[in-house]
A and B are shown apart, each in its own frame.
Chain A
Amino acid sequence: MTANTAPAKVPAVPGASGAPARPPRRRPASPARRPGWTPWLYLLPALVLLGGLLVYPIYQLGLISFLEYTQAQVSGGEPTTFQGFGNYATLFRDSQFWQVLLATVVFAAACVLATLFVGCALAVLLTRVRALPRLALMMAALGAWATPAITGSTVWVFLFDPDFGPVNKVLGLGDFSWTYGRWSAFALVLLEVLWCSFPFVMVTVYAGIRAIPTEVLEAASLDGASQWRIWRSVMAPMLRPILIVVTIQSVIWDFKVFTQIYVMTNGGGIAGQNLVLNVYAYQKAFASSQYSLGSAIGVVMLVILLAVTLVYLRLVRRQGEEL
């Protein structure tokens, strides 16, 4: 979808200037003009913590991905050896890796779209109902959010079990097995992921709508605009900062789905048909202590996510939103 919108946007912008348009920037007022060391002082605790506990481990992760590093090396039984891109070569030669990568991208995209759509739709719904139904929906959603992923997945498998689950009985599906087919298994996992991740979107977007000055919405609905029009031309533009955060977070989380796939499809589905990258990495690497291969997969995931996010942020910036 991004491929379609990107070229369409280009002709819209050039009016501003010939050079790549930069949005006009509002300069923060007085003290910020000479920030000096103050921002760094404020950032210091965060940077110390993140530097020590995230940047350094990520650096180690990158390093390990270039070494031969299994449990034997970790416990000091054998010396570590430099492998160059050996681990990456092993990975890229594995035809299964490419299949899994494709499945991961498609599955994550579907999850993100479904989550954003349902979350936003329900947020709008929340603004149109009275306190009691709103509280009911809110509490149900928060409950889904609060459930540990491992339990949520287990319960969903129970519910959709062909022999023991109530869902097939209610829907009259007989003993249809959800986990047998590749698509139905992915669909089931998608439903569970949707269940536990739409609340974040719903609550955030709802709160955003609540903060929109009421006169604006009032005016729109007096004009007789449809709900979709109001969303499209009034709410969405005003909510953009929130939508950006929500989208990026959903991409990051859904791309790294692990527990749901692992629990619901029994470690990756029939003959591995439902593997996604994170589960694949776990099976290939961490469960069997081939840490270097696992690290290489981690680095690949990082690079892909980074690329996706950057493309998205660039699109957003083209539309005049600053970071």
Chain B
Amino acid sequence: MKLSARIAAPAAALVLAGLTATACAPQTSDTSAEGDKKSGTLRVWLFQEVGNKPKEKVVDAAVADFEKAHEGAEVEVEYIPVDTRAQRIKAAFNDPKSAPDVIEYGNTDTAGYVKDGGLADVSKEFAAWDEAKDTDPTAKQSVTVGGQVYGAPFFVGVRALYYRTDVFEELGVEPPKSQDELISTARKIHAKKPGLYGLAVGGAYTYGAMPFIWAQGGELADETGVTYQSAINSEKARKGIEAYTSLFGDDNCPAAKCAAMGGNATVTAFASGKAAMAIGGDFSHAAVEAGAVKGKYAVVPLPGVKKGTIAPAFAGGNNIGVLKSSSHRTLAVDLMKSLTGKKTQAKMFDAMGFLPTYTDVLDTAAEKEPFVGPFVDTLGAGAKFVPASPAWGQIDASLVLPNMFQEIVSGRKDVATASDDAAKKMDAAFAEAG
């Protein structure tokens, strides 16, 4: 008795304190800028890549050019681990004192950061910048929210179809030319070589699944004026979901193993020789090269529905933007231009293999390095982007789409029910984000 009475006191105190002392509300931050200084130190955050040295070299050169052109301006570059970017950048929005002036960010984060009030609107500067005219339209879409531009594309990443040349030759099959062919080829290979997945697919591999939806003419969500409405349960989208989930099964990629896989796992399966085909990005090159299939694979664009067409790929990649809280706005925008300009991007491609975001630079790159050819073709055929809504971050983080695919492939729900449920969750998120 006595004991519980003693606890009741602090517990009640805790609750009461919460209810009464609202005078002391949780803090908020003031992120507005204080002027536009024309000299001083600019701070930049870029992502730290696994082999970061070549990236640093290219950035150093761009920074040197910038410093030469802007007397009195100094640049401090810091490389932050990709895994911690969310905390770091949100923290920067909350503590302008430690915030940098210019940041690199994943393009799916754009809308969220804009909504958080973190990124500066650079539409005017972007429109007046002559190099920007050659920007790939999908890349431009990835910096645009509600018609305004919030940064400049830094590089793009797209996925295409990796396949095993030795297996294809042995079985006498050709790289698939359409979605139907892709599925039948995958099954044929698995039937002849049960030890291999025909096409490695993953229930949690959303970016691998999206092209199937888009190829059928489906959309993740439709723009309705200011906000979005989920279209994942539309007739066309369901067809794509149907096609993708049909690949999970004992005739290609057993659900017991493949339902849980993400993009990483499918590429690993391919690299280690466990799969005859996989959907991998231009950035997966190094991992595949280090694996058992080195020298025994090739890449083609992921086929679309009609023979000879290319399925629209997801246009991943990173952007560089200016923070709203920067006190050196003009300088910061110039630095952004110098980091994302054609010259830097061309060098960045040579150093890191990042695909440039300018159509002309991209073509030059493809000529130099045949490996990127299929990826450039995929981009050229029109890549697509996730809804530019702050809700997307939430939909992504709460695993709405992976859950949908997994519910279907594990037999818990059929395509119609699962997609309806996913649509409901997406709409709730869109509504909340306004």
Query: Which residues B104-121 have CB closer than 8 A to chain A?
Result: 112, 115-118
- B255 contacts the other chain (CB 8 A): yes
* Most chain A C-beta atoms within 10 Å of own C-beta, residue among B254, B256, B272: B256
Contact yes or no, A75 B117, CB < 8 A:
yes
**Bound: A175/B410 CA distance, A:** 17
- A92 contacts the other chain (CB 8 A): no
- B28 contacts the other chain (CB 8 A): yes
Contact yes or no, A59 B3, CB < 8 A:
no
Contact yes or no, A71 B116, CB < 8 A:
yes
Query: Which residues A36-78 have CB closer than 8 A to chain B?
Result: 58-60, 62-67, 69, 71-77
Contact yes or no, B29 A76, CB < 8 A:
yes
Residues of B within 8 A of A289 (CB): 90, 112, 116, 393-394
Looking across the interface, which residue of chain B has its beta carbon closest to that of A268? B399
- A11 contacts the other chain (CB 8 A): no
Residues of A within 8 A of B118 (CB): 75
Interface size class of B (residues with CB under 8 A): 35 or more
Query: Which residues B59-88 have CB closer than 8 A to chain A?
Result: 86
Contact yes or no, B398 A288, CB < 8 A:
yes
The answer, among A73, A175, A265, A284, for a CB contact under 8 Å with B28, is A73
Contact yes or no, A271 B403, CB < 8 A:
yes
Q: For residue B40, give the distance in angstroms from its CB to the closest CB of chain A.
A: 24
Q: For residue B401, give the distance in angstroms from its CB to the closest CB of chain A.
A: 11
B17-25, B181-189, B337-345, B359-367: which lies at the A interface?
B17-25
Q: For residue B10, give the distance in angstroms from its CB to the closest CB of chain A.
A: 9
- B58 contacts the other chain (CB 8 A): no
1/0 per position for A211-253, CB-CB distance to B under 8 A? Answer: 0000000000000000000000000000000000000000000
The answer, among A65, A74, A314, for a CB contact under 8 Å with B4, is A314
Looking across the interface, which residue of chain A has its beta carbon closest to that of B203? A270
Looking across the interface, which residue of chain B has its beta carbon closest to that of A176? B256
Q: For residue A36, give the distance in angstroms from its CB to the closest CB of chain B.
A: 21
The 7 closest A-B pairs by CB, nearest first: A287-B397, A288-B394, A62-B18, A77-B117, A76-B28, A271-B406, A180-B256
Please report B residues at the A interface, Cβ cutoff 8 Å: 1-4, 7, 11, 14-15, 17-19, 21-22, 25-26, 28-31, 86, 90, 93-94, 112, 115-118, 203-204, 254-257, 259-260, 262, 268-269, 272, 274, 393-394, 397-399, 402-403, 406-407, 410, 412
Please report A residues at the B interface, Cβ cutoff 8 Å: 20, 22, 58-60, 62-67, 69, 71-77, 80, 82, 162-164, 175-177, 179-180, 265-272, 283-284, 287-290, 306, 310, 313-314, 317
